[in-house]
Structures are given as C-alpha cells and as structure tokens.
Amino acid sequence: MNTATHEFKPATGHQLSAKVLPGVQLRLLAAFGLSLLLAWMMSSPLSAQEDAGAQLSAVEQEAADSVAAEEELRESLDVDSLYRAMAPEPIYGRTAIELLRELETKHYSPVVFDNNFSTEVFDNYIDVLDGSRLYLTQSDVDEINDMRQSMDDSLKNGDLQPAYEIYNLYHRRVLERLVWTVEFVENELDSFDFTVDEELIIDREDAPWATSVEELDELWRRRIKNSTLSLSLTGMDMEKVEERLSKRYRNQLTQVAKTNERDVYQAYMATVARTVDPHTSYFSPRDSENFNMGLRGSLQGIGAQLTSEDEYTKVAELIKGGPAEQAGELKAGDRIIGIAQGDDGEMQDVIGLRLDDVVDQIRGEKGTIVRLNVLPAEATSEIGAREIVITRDTVELSEQFARSEVLEVDIDDDLYRIGVITLPSFYFDFEAASAGLTDYRSSARDVRALLEELKQDDVEAVVVDLRYNGGGSLNEANELVGLFIESGPTVQIRYSGQRNGFVRSYGDADPDVVYDGPLAVLVNRASASASEIFAGAIQDYQRGVVLGGQTFGKGTVQEIIPMDYGQVKLTRSKFYRISGASTQHRGVLPDIEFPDRYQAIESMGESNLDGALPWDTVRPVEYKSYHPLRQVIPELQARHELRAETNPDFIYLKGTVERMIEARERKTIPLNREVLKAQRDADRREAFDANNARLQAKGLPLEIWREEESGDEESGDDSENEELAALDEESDADEEKEEDDPLLLESGRILVDMAELLGNPMTAAHDATSVRAALNTLELSEQ
C-alpha cells in the first residue's frame, strides 16, 4: 500500500533550508493491486419458463465471465504485453544540462564531471534500482558496464538515453521476476519442506550478483518460503497464504507495469544530484510540490490522505479542519472512482490510475470546485456510487506544527509543573511571507506563543523536544534560539562559490528574552540540521542542558533553486556552532545520555552516508555563558544514573536497545519451521517478560501471555478463550490512562536538580501525597 497527501501548491523563490530526512531511500516499487469489478444485475420475477431461460443465460454469462477473467489473468502474466521500453523527453535532456551547470557553479564543494564522477553515478544508479541484488544478474551488469565511464559525457550533452537503457533492462527483469514469483506462488507452494535446514540471507547489499537466472530463482524461492512460513506461523492455512501472496505479488506487478518516463527521469536525476553529496537533490515539478509543502506546513486542496488499494484510490484519512472533513460527506474508507473539475466539467474515470495521477486531478487552487464520484466503503458495486462536491481551501497540517503540554513530575512526593514544547520541524511559509501576509506560519512565532501560554500556566521549567525533528528553515532555528537568550550570535555560516571560505555569523538582535527559566533540549539520532543548530547554541551558551542521544550530524545548508523544469536543492554552505565546531559527521553530543533505539541502527547518521562532507572547525565567536552548567553536569549525571539504575522504564529501554542490537547482528533467517518458531517465541518471550517486569515495578496491570497460533495447532478450548478475552477487556480498562513519556519525565527531574544545584530551587506546585489521596477518593466515589 502506498500513501500520499494528495494536493500541494509549489512555493516560489529561493529557500534557505537545513533539512534532512534520515533513513529515507528512493523507492520505485510499491504494492498496489489488481482487481476485477463485478456488476450484478437484478431483475423482476419471471414465469417458470422464462426463469429457467434466465438461469441458463446467467450460467452461460458466468462461464463467459470466468473465461474472460482467466484470460485477463493470463495476459497479466505475459511479460511482453506488460513491458514497454521508455525513452526520455526532450525537456529532460535540457534540464540535465541546466542541473550540471547549477551543481558546477553553486555547490559548496568543487564538482568535476569526469570519469570518476561517471563511475559514481553509474554505481549509485544501479544501487538505487537493485541495491539488494534481487533482479539483475552478473551478465546483465556486464551488458551495461560499458556505460560506466561515459555517463558524464552523456549528461553534458543532455543525452539521457543511457540512463533509460539501464532502466529498461532493469524494468524488464523486474517484470520477469514478478511473473515468475506469481506463477511459483500459485503453483509451487506445496513443494516447500519446512523441516529442511535452510536459511535466507537478510542483507544482500554486499552480496555478489547472481551468475544465472537459476541462482536468482533459488534466491526468490527462499524469499517466498520465508514469507510463506511467516504467514503460516500466524495460524493462516496454506490456501489463505497462497491467496495473500498471490495478491501481494500481482499487486506489485500491476504497479511496476505503470512505471512511466517521468519516474525514470526523476530517479536518475535525483541520483546524479545525490552523487555530489547526500543532501543535494533534484525535484521534478511534481516532487517539488511535495517538498515545498513540507516546508510550508500547509497545502491547498480538499484535505485528505489518499492511498492505492487494488485498482482504487481510497481515502485513508481526512485532515482535521480541512474542506472534506467540514463538508461531512467524504469518509475514510471511501473509494474515488471519478473526478470532474468545476460545476460542469466532464467526470473522468480514475479506476486503475496511478496514485500521483489521481493526486494531480484532485489538488487545485483555493476556492475552486472539484467533483468526486465516490464509492462508499460499504458499497459492493458502482451502483452505490454518489457524487460529492467540495470547494478546495488551504489546509494546515497540524501534526507538523509546534504543540505544548504540561507534565507534573513527582519527586520525593512533591509535584513540579514542567512545560514541554514538541517541535516536529522548523517550518516557515515562504510563499505567504513573500506575499506580504501577516498570518503566515512560522515555527519560531508558534513557539513564542506557546511559551507565553506555559508561563501563564505557572510552569517551573521547559523542555524543548526535538526528537525526530529533521530540520527545516535555518532562519527559524536562529529565531528560536533568540527566544531564550539576549542578543548574540547563534550560528556561523561558511559560504561557497565566489565567497568560498568566507565565514559569517548569524544571531539574535532582539535583546528581549521570552523565557529565562530552566531549560532542557531533548534530542535523538533523528534530530538533524536546524535541530542541531538550536541544540548546539543552547549548549554552547550554557543556557540549558542537552539530553538524549547523539544527533544526526548534518552540518550543511541547502538552498532551493528554481529551474525551468523542477528545482534543485543543493548544498551551498556549511554551518558551525558559535564555539567554532561543525556538527557535520559528529552531531551534537548530549550533556546527559538517554537510551536511544537508534543506537541499534548502524546506518543511522551523517557519518554513514556516502559522499558526506567532512568534519572541520572555524574560529569561535565571542559569546557569554549564562550558567556554570559544566560545573554541575557531573552531579546531574550522577543523580540521573542513580535514578536510572532503578527506573523501570529506563531499565526496559536499555534492554530493548540491547535486544535490537542482538537481532540486527543476525545475518540469516532460518527457514526450518521449528527453528524459526523457537527463535520467534524466545524473542517474544524475552520482550514480554521485560515489559511485564516494567509494568509490575510501576504497579500497573500485567499483560497476558499468548502462544502464537500456528496453522497445524488447535485454537484451544472456547471457555478458556472467553476467559482470556474477559481478562483482556479488564486489563484494557485498567490501562485506559496512557503512560507519560519516561524520557520527558526524567528530563523534568534533571531540570529540578539543575535548578537546585544552580542555587535557584523550584517550588513544588502540589504535594503528591495529598494529590494521590484525592484521586483515590475520586476513584472510589466513581466506583
């Protein structure tokens, strides 16, 4: 299933961005689907003779339909009918020349388009297409290997045909492999022997290319066996397993067959740009809209998340406050089968269309009308379809915006009120601001308002939660630092191009401080770029304490440059902390470290990206320290470690990281049923026992162990199942109250300690004992 937000509007002009999306890879394949829509015709009662004739006719029609369906299925497995060679459009070649010019003249580092660059582009392109060595053979790679050192010359001439030839070969091999897979699933699953000691290699990134089609067949046989075994261990019988896998691979085959010239162009051009450095990229016009929407935090359209399911475009979710939700007619689960523009536009059938093509038809300018022919979720045929009229409007993606909450942290039977501001990204609506609008969205403006609200709520300290914040606007990071300090530098920028080597410091010129109380910044390995600017400045000024895990390590700044066709996001400069140190590669190291699941992901972080720029330093700038935090951090660390040793949540998190690391060190998956089941049961039991130990230590209801049902095991006694279900319901009722985030709670405790050690102890808001007594009294009265 593939999900996309379906309407965007491109931003204009230059945008200074410090954005990274850790772990995101280019994916060309998605599982959508293939289905046959059956329309059943109903008629009034007939005489007995007519009825017999009608029944005979219905049987004949059913047989004809069955033959037609089988014929369509056979045709869908014919590679020659599915395959279509693709070639570049003229505009693509002209854009390639323009892209090379932009990279050569504006990138931070010198870019030379020579044979070395050509080799890197070739290898990266092959890796993007078939990084796991699942489709191409060694002979295929040898066939295209003569292009390895000529890709640069072709690009300079605006000739993208070599890239399309490579893709066409890959495209045909994918179709062939998926056809083979479907046929194997539908005819050979019974041949599997799950008592044989076989294994499947998990990571094939460094594996050699298969030397023959037969070798690939064996690799895919094991992959299918693994999927079959995994499904059967959930209790699914083989007939259902075959049905599930057949649908899965047929869906993939259908979607792959929809690949077009634009997909190939975007994949190749993005590869060319990323070869220069991992954060430089090219966006086609359509992909530009996706990127700009993320920076804006808003879009123009009807406000719905769409997904592809079988041949339908399905409404996955309505965006709160959007036009579709406010109109009240479109519902999650509905399927869009037709689209028309305006009051009298012709209704266009969209069954079977690619998701992005449907997106193009639904999105549009604020105030315009779109008419949707919608099949309700409960409808079984097009007879139940209805038309819905929606007026497009601006939709804000509220989940991307800053938000706040107040935590009450219990320390020695005293409750302290800690404000938490969660910031998912450093967003800024460039388009609205450049148009002179006063109500444009800005992360710094939103956080300022939230800080004022928290002060009214009498919080004693503030935690700025930047976990999973991949960055955004560099200027917004600068503005955000200014909310917590008096005027002063916040970041240094080293430029490229004609100003190569020139370093300039940026800072806050406003002497006003919005919040001057105890401050902590919570980060993890997914906190990147602009997040690292903010965390580094707060740490250098000793304005607050940085908690969590080592950050991503992206110390480069990208600029959006519009092109005649699409746009390029390229690295124009590097940023440095006011202390002179770059965050590139190394990131920001926390003052106090918390368990971080990303510790188990070896590939996470800038230092693991090919072509990443190196770490270096520049001269520090003058700045003052706000508190002697470095003197008290050893004591803060000691107090934290003392709590963490007995804190059930921290013990559990630490164990989770250790189990994840152990699991990732496994190189293969066993394909012996008993061996795999034993391994899975042991993993489940270890995680289950660890979580129950955590729950027991916190005085919470324990989970109930469930043996995984397998296809050849009985489901158990019905009365026992009913009893377990009743216990589950009771447990669920007891656990209605969601647990507070243990890392935020510990951040609050560290802030209380910090205030005490700095000579400004906090005042408890409540006595925890009396509060708990009041809550117990309330619970008893409710019972």
> Token match 């906090």: residue?
762
Phi, then psi, of 328 in degrees rounded to 5: 85, 0
- Using alpha carbons, list the distances in angstroms from residue 335 to 313, 351, 378, 432, 533: 6, 9, 10, 33, 44
What's the rounded Cα separation, in Å, for the pair 467 and 425? 10
Degrees to nearest 5, angle at CA 140 with 138 and 141: 65
| Those residues with Cβ within 8 angstroms of residue 32's Cβ, 6 or more apart along the chain or in another chain | 1, 2, 251, 252, 254, 255, 308, 309, 310, 311, 355
| Those residues with Cβ within 8 angstroms of residue 89's Cβ, 6 or more apart along the chain or in another chain | 261, 265
**Dihedral sign computed on CA atoms, order 399, 402, 406, 407:** positive
Reference 508, options 546, 480, 536, 531; nearest CA is: 480
Is 554 tagged catalytic?
Answer: yes
| Those residues with Cβ within 8 angstroms of residue 415's Cβ, 6 or more apart along the chain or in another chain | 408, 409, 764, 765, 766, 767, 768, 771
Reference 297, options 404, 395, 366; nearest CA is: 395
Q: State both tokens at 315.
A: 């409404």
Reference 666, options 675, 707, 225; nearest CA is: 675
Residue type, 450: L
Torsion of CA 561, 563, 567, 570, to 10 degrees: -40
Reference 390, options 436, 344, 342, 434; nearest CA is: 342
How many C-alpha atoms does 656 have within 13 Å on its Cβ side?
A: 15
Degrees to nearest 5, angle at CA 441 with 439 and 445: 90
What's the rounded Cα separation, in Å, for the pair 300 and 359? 12
Q: Is 334 helix (H, G, I), strand (E, B) or coil?
A: coil
| Those residues with Cβ within 8 angstroms of residue 485's Cβ, 6 or more apart along the chain or in another chain | 508, 513, 537, 541, 543, 626
Residue type, 179: V
User: Chain centroid to CA 336: how far?
Assistant: 25
Of 19, 554, 569, 574, the active-site residue reads 554
Run of H or E residues at 733: helix 718-734
Helices H, strands E: what count in the chain? 23, 25
Is 540 tagged catalytic?
Answer: yes
Is 240 tagged catalytic?
Answer: no
What's the rounded Cα separation, in Å, for the pair 293 and 396? 10
Q: Is 558 helix (H, G, I), strand (E, B) or coil?
A: strand
- List helix spans (H) across 483-597: 530-540
Q: Beta strand pairing status for 567-576 and 281-283?
A: antiparallel
How many C-alpha atoms does 87 have within 13 Å on its Cβ side?
A: 1
What's the rounded Cα separation, in Å, for the pair 750 and 756? 10
How many C-alpha atoms does 190 have within 13 Å on its Cβ side?
A: 3
Reference 397, options 1, 7, 133; nearest CA is: 7
Q: State both tokens at 139.
A: 């002979």
**Dihedral sign computed on CA atoms, order 507, 508, 513, 514:** negative
3-state helix, strand, coil in the chain (%, to 5): 45, 20, 35
What's the rounded Cα separation, in Å, for the pair 724 and 172? 52
Q: State both tokens at 373.
A: 């022919």
Of 277, 465, 540, 753, the active-site residue reads 540
Run of H or E residues at 450: helix 443-456
Of 442, 529, 531, 573, the active-site residue reads 529
What's the rounded Cα separation, in Å, for the pair 131 and 134? 8
What's the rounded Cα separation, in Å, for the pair 276 and 103? 8
What positions carry a catalytic annotation?
529, 540, 554
